[in-house]
């Protein structure tokens, strides 16, 4: 990574995209990140086992529980949460490096983590972090999408749906809520929101 030089570029911005598993956060975000070199997605650490095709260091850093807890204790995570019986957290050091180098960083996380970020950056002297919530049109549609994805067992799916129900009650404190019903419409609204929030 090139060394940061604040005289040649402004610091990047942090932005959060949250919402239930299966609502379409990645579907909306990944194409945008792919086409914008100045925008990167943070790679989280998790204790969840990799799905077929997932690679360590790409979708996640796959770690065991002891390693994750050591990361918590060492203050290495910007936020972390337990979701569907697994730990997930955002490593702080790469984010700081990206921001200092002028790259904006998106966190694609669940709602407890988003809440921690909001609390952490809403203190005096910090810039508030914009928060986007991606919602499914309904819990029924979400259940169908998750089932169709075939990445979880029925028991795991039930945990995700229970979490989704709780997450959908939290939309009130987000800056933007996008209902991902028609994908093309949601994509356009998402890109507009990202552009506006990253410029602000
Ligand atoms: P999945 O197991 O489907 O990859 O992720 C489950 C949920 O955890 C998703 O809502 C995902 O956005 C969220 N998640 C992924 N990484 C993190 C993280 O670092 N922190 C938090 N709080 N949630 C995360």
Distance of CA 29 to the CA centre of its chain: 9
Asked if residue 98 lies in contact with residue 9, where contact means CB atoms within 8 angstroms, the answer is no
Q: Mean pLDDT across the stretch 1-11?
A: 63
Atom of ligand 1 nearest to the CA of 108: 12
Q: Does any ligand 1 atom lie closer than 6 A to the CB of residue 89? A: yes
Q: Does any ligand 1 atom lie closer than 6 A to the CB of residue 106? A: no
80-83's contacts with Cβ under 8 Å and 24+ in sequence apart are: 80/113, 80/116, 81/109, 81/110, 81/112, 81/113, 81/116, 83/21, 83/110, 83/112, 83/163
Q: Does any ligand 1 atom lie closer than 6 A to the CB of residue 136? A: no
Among protein residues, the one whose CA lies closest to atom 3 of ligand 1: 21
Mind listing the pLDDT tens digit for each residue in 25-55?
999 999 999 999 999 999 999 999 999 999 9
Whether 4 shows a pLDDT value over 70: the answer reads no
pLDDT value at residue 112: 98
Please tell me the CATH superfamily of domain 14-199, with its number: P-loop containing nucleotide triphosphate hydrolases (3.40.50.300)
pLDDT value at residue 3: 52
Could you state, in order of their start, the residue ranges of all structural domains in the chain? 14-199
Distance CA 136, CA 94 (A): 30
Q: Does any ligand 1 atom lie closer than 6 A to the CB of residue 47? A: no
Mind listing the pLDDT tens digit for each residue in 64-92?
999 999 999 999 999 999 999 999 999 99
User: pTM of the full predicted structure?
Assistant: 0.94
Q: Cα(20) to centroid of ligand 1, in Å?
A: 9
Q: Does any ligand 1 atom lie closer than 6 A to the CB of residue 81? A: yes
């Amino acid at each position: 990574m090139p060394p940061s030089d604040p005289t040649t570029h402004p610091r990047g911005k942090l932005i959060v995209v949250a919402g239930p598993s299966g609502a379409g956060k990645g579907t909306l975000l990944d194409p945008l990140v792919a086409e914008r070199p100045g925008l990167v997605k943070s790679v989280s650490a998790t204790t969840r086992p990799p799905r077929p095709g997932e690679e360590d260091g790409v979708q996640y850093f796959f770690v065991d529980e002891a390693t994750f807890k050591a990361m918590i204790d060492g203050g290495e995570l910007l936020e972390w949460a337990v979701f569907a019986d697994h730990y997930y957290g955002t490593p702080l050091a790469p984010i700081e490096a990206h921001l200092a180098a002028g790259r904006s960083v998106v966190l694609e996380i669940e709602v407890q983590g988003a809440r921690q970020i909001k609390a952490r950056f809403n203190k005096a002297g910090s810039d508030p972090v914009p928060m986007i919530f991606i919602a499914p049109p309904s819990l029924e549609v979400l259940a169908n999408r998750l089932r169709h994805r075939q990445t979880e067992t029925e028991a795991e799916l039930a945990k995700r749906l229970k979490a989704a129900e709780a997450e959908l009650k939290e939309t009130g404190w987000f800056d933007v809520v996008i209902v991902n019903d028609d994908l093309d419409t949601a994509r356009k609204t998402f890109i507009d929101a990202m552009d506006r929030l990253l410029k602000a």
